[in-house]
Amino acid sequence: MLVLVVGVAAAVFVVRRISDSPSVALRGAADRIRSAPAVRVGVAYRDAGGHIIIGQFTVTGDNLVSGTVTDPQGGRADLVARAGTSAVRGDADWWARRSPKQIRAITGQWVRPEPGVAFPFDIAALLNPTALARRIDALAGAAHRPDQNTEDATDDQIRTVVSGDWTALLDTSKDRKLRWLGGPLDPSLVIQPAAYHHNDNHSTDIVPASHSRPTTPGRPAPVVPARYDPIAIPPYVAITPEPTGSDAASTTQTAVAKILPEASPGTASGPQPPGPVAQRTVKPGYATFDLEWTAQDCNTPTCTWTVTVTNTGTAPGTGVLYASATPGMPLLTFPITLPASGTFVTPPMTFPNPAPVIKGKNTQITVSYSAWVHNSSFGPDPALPQRLDDRGINPNTLTPIDPGYETSRLNLLDQMIGHLPKGDTSLATPAINAVDTAIQAGMLPELKAIADSGRLENPADLVKKLKLVSSNTTRGAPPPTDGKIGFRREVEQAAEILREDPKARILLDGALRNASTGELEGADILDMENKVAYQLKTVSGPQIIAAIKAAIRQLNGGNRPSGDTDVIQKAPPGYKKVALIYVEPQSKRHQSTRAALTRLLSHEAKELAICDDDGSARMDQLTVVTAQGVFTWQKGGFDAIGQPC
């Protein structure tokens, strides 16, 4: 198993006590940032649907930015920016999550992206030293130390400071450095990409949700968590700031001037080199084929018909036209190459009238005419479009995406509905909507990995499950039901396993029948080839221990069966039991190192109860994912966390 790391800057902690007040400590941190020529910031942003974006930037006092933007499960882009302007150079997966239609046309080159594409808010305006210091000053006014819960009490290396909905972590060194700052972002600051854009008003300051401006139509209200372990307060941002010197500022100025020459002061006058291409001007072309045919009632000895193919797309295209009449005419093929708006007409296709000849009687027979075009962008299997069309999905009418991903989308749809009999179109629209939901949530690379592997054992379940990848808690809503929150992580992890292990066969949120008991036993992910059961938990608050306990309980069948499916969350016999805990950016534990987690787990060993009464381990592996790495403890090594089993 490989779990990718959501990483931001590491920090070294020194054990000392903070003697002054939280407000004084925060203002001191703000002063150090304000006076610095530049600040290095690690930024983890999480949207309402669970999509995490990681930024590593240097931001100068004159509002210039250089750095990288990465997606935890794959995708990376270089970025340079000034206030109001940015340029990015992203790889294919990075663009697949943001602009599925343009992937091939803009991958690997510098592009001026549309608003909100490079990053969900204006880094130059909001995180330059002055703006960041101003935000910290504002938080300092209401700062206080919260009451420590059991888990917090184990960490003597940092001090937690709370101001409204925002939390800061200060180290205990003499300098009292600000190590981490996190809280809900005023929704008015989030720059939505054009496809989901509701409002053009942007602010230039970070405002905690507790002090946010009144919401306006088209903007979501701040979200209040509805249970002890908040699932999300979207949108959420976590920041690790580090004041830095003039050398870093100079390096950033040079990097920005190279790509965005007008962005740097002192640029020579006169003609400037051409800048990055504007994303909005890149119009990738697609070939789309529409068909018409002349088939009609035939009352002559020989029947004749033709098919007209028109490229209604915006670019030249190639494909193969297939035509048949049953009974009467075998399958014929016609290679076609058409420019945009071009037309191809078959020569007259003839076949003997199949109606039986009975002297003195008029006879008739039903002939089924069929014609379709296999667009070359659909991949090598000419039968794929026809299988989909037989079940209500016409590939030529789907929203265009890059040809490099189109075959994967069609294969996934085929896997999702291919079990239906020919002519059953009941799942066509739900399947299309489910896949579109995941693509809009930035998960096209995961869909491609699942489809290309062909090793997801229950693809039909994706018709319902993919609709959940953007599910979230909303204001006043009851606690989310099992299987909704965290399902995005399940899909991401399943895709990662399939990418990394060419033999893995995955049952996603499924179950197997126990031959001895007859019970259905399942887990979030079952690797049927390697016999591994994964139970995943996402932690948005401090409750890592509670999440681990819940995973252990489910792996061992400690919960009641699901009322809808009678499935018991329990690792099937012979399966390795793995608890996989994702610490989300909302949690101040997001920055925990292995040492910090070891202290916490050891302190809570009795509560955690990894060992059973007979001394056996209740799971085989514990993996915790934080910004600092992927940390794993195996059975036989649990004594390192106070569990001698």
Q: 90-106 pLDDT, tens per residue?
A: 999 999 999 999 999 99
Structural domains in the chain, CATH included, are 22-281 (2.50.20), 289-393 (2.60.40.10), 501-645 (3.40.1350)
Residue 622 parent element (H or E): strand 621-626
Burial class (CB in 10 A: 0-12, 13-18, 19+), 421: exposed
CA dist list (Å): 134 to 28, 206, 329, 495: 12, 9, 78, 42
Of residues 242 and 231, more confidence is placed in 242
Q: Is residue 467 a contact partner of residue 437, using CB atoms and an 8 Å limit? A: yes
Reported as a single tens digit per residue, the pLDDT across 574-619 is 999 999 999 988 888 888 889 999 999 999 988 988 988 888 999 9
| All residues at 6 or more sequence positions from 51 whose CB lies less than 8 Å from its CB, including other chains | 71, 97, 441, 442, 488
Per-residue pLDDT, 471 = 61
CA distance 113 to 427: 36
Query: Tokens in use for 368?
Result: 């089924």
Of residues 643 and 495, more confidence is placed in 495
Please state, as a whole number, how many other Cβ atoms lie within 10 Å of the Cβ of residue 262.
11
Reported as a single tens digit per residue, the pLDDT across 44-62 is 998 877 888 999 999 999 9
Sign of the C-alpha dihedral computed for residues 16, 20, 22 and 28 taken in this order: negative
Question: What secondary structure does DSSP assign to 251-278, as a single string?
Answer: HHHHHHHHH-GGGSTTPPSS-----PEE
On the question of pLDDT at 218 being above 60, the answer is: no
* DSSP-based three-state secondary structure for 413: helix
Percent of the chain predicted with pLDDT > 70? 83
User: At how many degrees (to 10) do helices 22-34 and 129-140 cross?
Assistant: 170
- ∠ CA 571-575-580 to the nearest 5 degrees? 65
Reported as a single tens digit per residue, the pLDDT across 431-443 is 999 999 999 999 9
Q: Is residue 465 a contact partner of residue 509, using CB atoms and an 8 Å limit? A: yes
* DSSP-based three-state secondary structure for 528: coil
Nearest-10 Cα torsion for 377, 379, 383, 387: -70
Reported as a single tens digit per residue, the pLDDT across 332-388 is 999 999 999 999 999 999 999 999 988 888 889 999 998 989 999 898 898 898 899
Beta strands 166-171 and 158-163: pairing type?
Answer: antiparallel
Burial class (CB in 10 A: 0-12, 13-18, 19+), 486: buried
